[in-house]
């Protein structure tokens, strides 16, 4: 199975599992700096909401970014950061979403609506218990092609 397909499946599971079972806890306040700044990892342009999925052993840390929806017309992002671990350093990390630069000119936006958007994508897979080796995988080029920009982390 392609690692990108596995990452997308994991992402969908992480988003749907908290809705189906009470295994997630959410921090009541956003994480990261005030809107408009860079998040701690540099991928997303604004703060997000932090969740932890799992209580013992394997856990998934999740930061959900929704500023694109809460700052309509202005700069923002919608996306997710996932980090899976087993009582230690992360084994798998996925950061993906869409950043929006905001609407400065309605005419320019209507002429080229994709120019204001960019894809955010960063994927890392490591098995630290085996040491660094050929199983490690890192990717920052989104598996999407089309008339849209990309933003690195």
Q: Between residues 36 and 131, which one has the greater pLDDT?
A: 131
91-107 burial string, b = 16+ CB within 10 Å, else e?
Answer: bbbbbbbbbbeeeeeee
Q: How confident is the model at residue 43 (pLDDT cuts 50, 70, 90)?
A: confident
- Cβ atoms within 10 Å, residue 14: 20
- Cβ atoms within 10 Å, residue 118: 20
How far apart CA 65 and CA 47 sit, in angstroms, is 7
Q: Decide if pLDDT at 50 tops 90.
A: yes
The pTM assigned to this predicted structure is 0.65
The pLDDT > 70 percentage for the chain reads: 69
Q: Decide if pLDDT at 25 tops 60.
A: no
pLDDT of residue 129: 67
Query: What are 54's two structure tokens?
Result: 């799992």
- Cβ atoms within 10 Å, residue 21: 9
**Cβ atoms of residues 12 and 67 within 8 Å:** no
Distances (CA, A) of 147 to 16, 46, 117, 131: 30, 24, 10, 39
Q: Between residues 140 and 97, which one has the greater pLDDT?
A: 97
Q: Could you state, in order of their start, the residue ranges of all structural domains in the chain?
A: 3-151
Tell me the mean pLDDT in the region 2-31: 39
Give 78-132 pLDDT, tens digit per residue. 999 999 998 888 899 999 999 988 888 889 888 988 888 999 999 999 886 666 5
pLDDT of residue 49: 94
């Amino acid at each position: 199975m392609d690692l990108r397909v596995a990452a997308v499946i994991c992402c969908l599971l992480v988003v749907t599992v908290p809705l189906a079972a009470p295994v997630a806890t959410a921090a009541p306040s956003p994480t990261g700096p005030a809107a408009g700044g860079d998040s701690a990892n540099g991928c997303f342009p604004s703060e997000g909401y932090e969740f932890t999925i799992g209580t013992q052993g394997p856990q998934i840390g999740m930061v959900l970014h929704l500023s694109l929806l809460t700052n309509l017309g202005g700069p923002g992002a919608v996306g997710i950061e996932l980090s899976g671990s087993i009582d230690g350093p992360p084994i798998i990390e996925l950061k993906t979403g869409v950043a929006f630069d905001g609407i400065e000119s309605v005419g320019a936006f209507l002429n080229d609506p994709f120019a204001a958007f960019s894809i955010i994508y960063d994927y890392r897979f490591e098995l630290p218990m085996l040491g660094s080796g050929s199983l490690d995988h890192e990717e920052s080029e989104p598996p999407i092609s089309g008339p849209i920009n990309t933003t690195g982390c």
